[in-house]
Amino acid sequence: AQSVTQLDSHVSVSEGTPVLLRCNYSSSYSPSLFWYVQHPNKGLQLLLKYTSAATLVKGINGFEAEFKKSETSFHLTKPSAHMSDAAEYFCVVSDPYGGSQGNLIFGKGTKLSVKP
């Protein structure tokens, strides 16, 4: 069965320092992987997605993620955090051959805090 594990529930960084949000997945096939961001009291917005093209995926607002099949990871990074990056981030896996209802599994989220 497919699953997503976000390794940190909360990450705190200082403004201007790098961001690393970790995500591991398990899937029975080559999955599609996403990162969504949710700002307080808002809906989710797509940051980036991997769908079996380039393994390094660039998203909006300077974020990027690298698909590593051997490590079953899809970590999200940004070279320099900005105060506006403070939000909750969700790693999501979609496995069309997973067989479960809906086939879209959300991680439990990582809350990113950015200190001035």
Partner 1 sequence: NAGVTQTPKFRVLKTGQSMTLLCAQDMNHEYMYWYRQDPGMGLRLIHYSVGEGTTAKGEVPDGYNVSRLKKQNFLLGLESAAPSQTSVYFCASSYSGFTDTQYFGPGTRLTVL
Where does this chain bind partner 1 (CB under 8 A)? 9, 32, 41-46, 49, 51, 90, 94, 96, 100-104, 106-109
The residues, any chain, with a CB within 8 Å of residue 43's CB and separated by 6 or more, are none
Which residue, 73, 69, 86, is CA-closest to 19?
86
> Whole-number minimum distance, CB 61 to partner 1, in Å?
16
> Whole-number minimum distance, CB 79 to partner 1, in Å?
24
Q: Which is nearer to partner 1, 14 or 52 (CB)?
A: 52
Question: Rounded distance, CA 40 to CA 23, Å?
Answer: 21
